[in-house]
Amino acid sequence: MYALWMSSLFACALGPPPTDAETSASGTEPTATETTTAPRPPQTVRVLTWNVEGLTPSASQDAAATVLARYVPDVVLLQEIEDFEADDLQAFAEDLGYAIVVDPVDNPFGTLHNAVLSRLPLDEPHIWTSDALSGDASANDLTRWPVAAAGALDGVRFAVVTNHWKSDFYEIDLFRRAVDGYRTAQAAAAMAATVTLVCGDVNEELDEVAALSPAAWTSQPTGAPSDFRLGDDLVALLRGDGLPNDPFAPLLAGGLTVVDALQLDTRDATRDDSGRRLDYCFVQGATAVGEVYDSRDDDGSGLPKVGSPPARKTSAAASDHFPVVVDLTF
């Protein structure tokens, strides 16, 4: 079903342990059998999500590497990796010092899939399939499988999930995008983490979903692929209150919040050609500061960066989407 590469993990710098015993809450000194520790200092993790439009070795891949070197993210969440690019992705990750690659080698519909790269010890990889999330062995209703990884960072369980929702605007596309949102929220909940970050290309704009019609799906529109099969859990939902026609709603209902992210020129577009904001991050259990990166705006301000600004054309050369960078503190 998929290939999973894992190499030796990089250590995560999480701060030194306390060296002195603290006074107990009663005001007395702790005994040999009653010790306390100082509060754990907060830690910051940087995550970059990006619809990279493929990673075959090329000037485009070089430009993508330049952007990653500018931010040095701890975790990279990628969308639009082609089935045939498994070896290219592995080499790309190793060249940039990433120790984990979670990468499906196939996908239920089409040739594009998601991937996770990480320098952190996220040693619990997951590729979430329709049957696993729905509990229905015959379900096949995800456009692409959400890819996830989790691990303990200084005692805090941290998880990331990435997906690429269905594109286009026919009724069946809107319906499948809503299904993708529902399943992605299920994947996030199944990771059972204290801190969870979900990122990806939602192929919808947050401020436009209220105008979508119908407000909720109570039946499946026509036009689905012949091998598309809705899981029993969603069939039951359609027969009841319906499935909200909103790919964001299940994530927000699950307790995640949208991370604010703007370009340095204050625009929020993540796809330059259309000017639309399609790429989002959702967080739970941490504070988050986000930024959309366009190399044409890079003057060294915003989130901390490494080195000098690259050529203005770097972002456009890398992909038709801009990356979104999030610094999480918890």
pLDDT, average across residues 216-233: 98
- Would 103 be classed as within a structural domain? yes
Cα–Cα dist 284/326, whole Å: 13
Cα–Cα dist 305/73, whole Å: 10
What's the pLDDT score for residue 36?
67
What's the pLDDT score for residue 173?
98
What's the pLDDT score for residue 120?
97
What's the pLDDT score for residue 88?
96
pLDDT, average across residues 307-326: 98
Cα–Cα dist 144/146, whole Å: 6
What's the pLDDT score for residue 73?
98
Beta-strand pair 156-164/195-201: parallel
Percent of the chain with pLDDT over 70: 89
Query: How high is the mean pLDDT of the chain?
Result: 91
Cα–Cα dist 148/191, whole Å: 8
Cα–Cα dist 14/48, whole Å: 20
pLDDT at 124 over 60: yes
The type of residue at 49 is: T
What's the pLDDT score for residue 100?
86
Going by C-alpha positions, the residue among 318, 316, 291 that lies closest to residue 305 is: 291
Residue 82: count of CB within 10 angstroms of its CB: 17
CATH (domain of 271)? 3.60.10.10
How many residues does the structure list for the chain?
330
DSSP letters spanning 99-157 = -EEEE-S--SSSSEEEEEEESS---EEEE--HHHHHS-TT-B--SS--EEEEEEETTEE
Orientation of helix 59-71 relative to helix 86-95, angle to 10°: 40
DSSP one-letter code for 97: T
* Positive or negative torsion for Cα 114, 123, 71, 184: positive
What's the pLDDT score for residue 23?
36
What's the pLDDT score for residue 277?
98
- Would 261 be classed as within a structural domain? yes
pLDDT at 139 over 80: yes
- Would 181 be classed as within a structural domain? yes
DSSP one-letter code for 274: T
Q: Which residues pair with 51 in a beta bridge?
A: 79
Cα–Cα dist 143/328, whole Å: 28
Cα–Cα dist 1/105, whole Å: 7
Which of these ranges, 28-42, 191-205, 298-312, has the smallest mean pLDDT? Answer: 28-42
The pLDDT-based confidence of 20 (bands split at 50, 70, 90) is: very low
pLDDT at 166 over 70: yes
The structure tokens listed for 86 are: 């498994």
What's the pLDDT score for residue 226?
98
Question: Structurally, how many domains does the chain consist of?
Answer: 1
Backbone angles phi, psi at 105, to 5 degrees: -95, -5
Cα–Cα dist 31/319, whole Å: 60
- Domain with 166, as residue range(s), is 3-7+40-329
What's the pLDDT score for residue 13?
34
- Would 21 be classed as within a structural domain? no
The pLDDT-based confidence of 14 (bands split at 50, 70, 90) is: very low
- Would 29 be classed as within a structural domain? no
pLDDT, average across residues 151-162: 98
pLDDT, average across residues 103-118: 94
**C-alpha distance from residue 58 to each of 54, 65, 147, 157, 228 (Å):** 10, 11, 25, 37, 35
- Would 18 be classed as within a structural domain? no
Residue 194: count of CB within 10 angstroms of its CB: 15
pLDDT at 18 over 60: no
In terms of pLDDT, which residue wins out, 256 or 26? 256
- Would 201 be classed as within a structural domain? yes
pLDDT at 15 over 50: no
pLDDT at 34 over 70: no
- Would 188 be classed as within a structural domain? yes
What's the pLDDT score for residue 35?
58
Q: What pTM did the predictor assign? A: 0.89
